[in-house]
Amino acid sequence: MSSIRTLKTFLAVARHGTFAAAGKEIGLTPAAVGLQIRALEESLNCQLFDRSARAAVLNPAGRALVPEIADIVRRYELLGAQAGADGMSGTVVVGALVSALMGAFADALWTVRQRYPRLDVRLFAGLSSDFAMRVERGELDAAIVTQSPRPLSSNLVWTPLYTEPMILIVPRKPHFPLTDDVDAMLADAPFMRFDRNTWTGILVQDVLDALAAQVRDSMELNSVEAIIELVRHGFGVSIVPRLANVDWERDRALRVVQLPAIDVQRRVGLLERARHSRTLFTEAIKEYFSQASRQGKPGRRRSRHAVAPAELSAIVAAFPATRRPVAGKPVRKRGEGQGT
């Protein structure tokens, strides 16, 4: 019978794709990771990885076991959480948009971590569409994502938390001619487009369609933060969500232009499986936003975590995982002062 430690090692390899990366996360050498994986395969009498691949690629049998093993590990940790005096402990694995880490979710995470100090939150930064698949497969307990433009799988539940209106941002010192007319801005200025294959990118196109606007695409990126920085430096204009807890008024290099008669909102929410063992955590997050909603509008209020757009680069640098949003290198959150 394999130990919980071995099962956690298997999940780490499944997340990272190499024995070396998994070992770095759990504090083992690649050789030790390999021994644990081989012991697990012998215990199950089943090969779990494709040995012909250079990386640790799960075969169909291995992929099928990921949600089952993840559930075993979560249930084991839940026993400790239920026995603990604070009611919640162990590890919870969460995906989050980089913009959510800078927004109201940072407040929520900070509050939950202060209330449950024995809880270990492992964060992965990435894209909504990737997170949806990982939550469904059981690789993540939950994720903070934008509302899907298409129906989700029947075993997934998305709960709205807050909204962010879509806005037009322009540089104060552009490297190109720029008028004050919105239609002319969109038609003539270089347009920094959010990846149209992403859920936020689809929202951007919805805004352009509502305005009947034709734009001159200059760049297409999958990072709102990178787009904001490019606009700040005068390379183009863009339509982005008005990120929660970002103090746009303090930025001297960027100007926000309200879109005429357009009310397209990016809805940000919590995605989880219909049945999972980390409901104490997800309910705590949802309760935070429910209380904030009764006191005001979460996601639009100025909080202790508010930053100027000019500070986004420093925030992104503080989260190593955000530099490779698809790969999703984990960021650990432990102790006071690290909840944001």
Reported as a single tens digit per residue, the pLDDT across 166-184 is 999 999 999 999 999 999 9
Q: Which long-range contacts (CB under 8 A, 24 or more apart) does 9-13 make?
A: 9/33, 9/36, 9/37, 9/40, 10/36, 10/37, 10/40, 10/48, 10/65, 10/69, 11/66, 11/69, 11/70, 11/73, 11/139, 13/37, 13/49, 13/56
CB atoms within 10 A of CB 156: 16
Structural domain for 203, as ranges: 164-265
What average pLDDT does range 278-304 have in this prediction? 74
Among the candidates 221, 244, 265, a domain finishes at 265
Residue 326 domain flag: no
What average pLDDT does range 287-304 have in this prediction? 66
Among the candidates 242, 265, 288, a domain finishes at 265
Among the candidates 198, 233, 265, a domain finishes at 265
CATH code of the domain containing 173: 3.40.190.10
Residue 299 domain flag: no
Burial class of 72 by CB neighbour count within 10 A (0 to 12, 13 to 18, 19+): middle
Residue 314 domain flag: no
Residue 233 domain flag: yes
pLDDT, tens digit, 9 for 90 and up, residues 212-222: 999 999 999 98
Residue 28 domain flag: yes
CATH code of the domain containing 30: 1.10.10.10
pTM of this prediction exceeds 0.75: no
What's the number of domains the chain is made of? 2
DSSP state of 325: T
Residue 81 domain flag: no
pLDDT of 315 above 80? no
Residue 153 domain flag: no
Burial class of 282 by CB neighbour count within 10 A (0 to 12, 13 to 18, 19+): buried
Residue 213 domain flag: yes
pLDDT, tens digit, 9 for 90 and up, residues 185-235: 999 999 999 999 999 999 999 999 999 999 999 999 988 889 999 999 999
